[in-house]
Amino acid sequence: MSLTFIGLGLNDEKGMTLEGLEEARQADSAYGEFYTNIMPNLDLKRLEKNIGKKVEVLNRTQLEDEGGEKLLKAASKQRVAFLVPGDPLIATTHISLRLSLAKMGIPSRVVHAPSIVSAVCGATGLQSYKFGKSITVPRDQPLPRSLLDTISDNSHRGLHTLILLDVQAGKTSQMTIRDAITKMTTADPHLETRVAVGLARLGSRDEKVKASKMKILTGEDFGNGPQSIIVVGRVHFMEAEALEVLCGAGEEDLRELS
């Protein structure tokens, strides 16, 4: 008996790899969670049709508060596919589950898929090795000082900072780039003039990527989520060109980064 973590990618059910699709089809049962990230065009019925079986959707309470007991019990008796947004083990919840499986002696494996962590590099042209520690801006809680410290620490080392926005599954209104920047610049007004990249719906046909100063990005319409931000650090000449060509950065923005 076993469990396979299968990444669904960023946008819809077509983001799953062929290997993931094959694993899901061969499984005895399929479970899924869709609260760790938003997949803007995912259709559960289409997903179920593709894999040839129903997907039982698990919520945060079942996976975190209850420790994924239902999933673990199923995996102890049969071959289980667990379908998740993005790349499976980016979420700490999924790592915790895999550790629980190992302690129970239940084999597990991972079928990887596109993640926001890798997609931002392709969308912006910023180089992966030049990113520092990433952070998540909470929606309903005060902004922790540690988040501002992380941006500052990364910047001092010339590194970019990926900022993820708090996702609240089941709610029609999600945190936006404007919300996050307003929260951060209220806490640290110096950030208003920092060059950043706003990203929305990466992996979809209507994705939006725009580079400018933070105060300018608050006036930009990024549409629906999911959305994220990169605070740009020191740039290589090729990164600078990519910011201009791929992200619409202006000459003044590039001067700020030189």
On the question of pLDDT at 172 being above 70, the answer is: no
Decide which of 52, 83, 111 is a domain's last residue: 111
Alpha-carbon distance values, 178 to 68, 217, 223 (Å):
35, 7, 11
The predicted pLDDT at position 93 comes to 83
Look up tokens 């001067």; give the residue.
255
For residues 78 and 147, state if they share a domain.
no
Total number of domains in the chain: 2
Alpha-carbon distance values, 248 to 47, 158, 165, 210, 231 (Å):
35, 21, 22, 6, 15
Q: What is the pTM of this model?
A: 0.92
Side-by-side strand order, sheet with 195-200: 135-137, 161-165, 227-231, 195-200, 208-213
For residues 121 and 244, state if they share a domain.
yes
Distance CA 58, CA 91 (A): 15
At 55-66, the pLDDT tens digits run 999 998 999 989
Distance CA 195, CA 45 (A): 41
What mean pLDDT value characterizes the chain?
A: 94
The predicted pLDDT at position 91 comes to 76
CATH of the domain at 33: 3.40.1010.10
Range of the domain at 91: 2-111
- The SS3 call for residue 120 is helix
Cis peptide before 85 (omega within 30 of 0): no
| Confidence band of 36 (pLDDT split at 50, 70, 90) | confident
The predicted pLDDT at position 167 comes to 82
The predicted pLDDT at position 256 comes to 86
| Confidence band of 170 (pLDDT split at 50, 70, 90) | low
Decide which of 47, 82, 111 is a domain's last residue: 111
The region that residue 192 occupies, defined by phi over 0 for left and psi between -120 and 50 for alpha, beta otherwise, is alpha
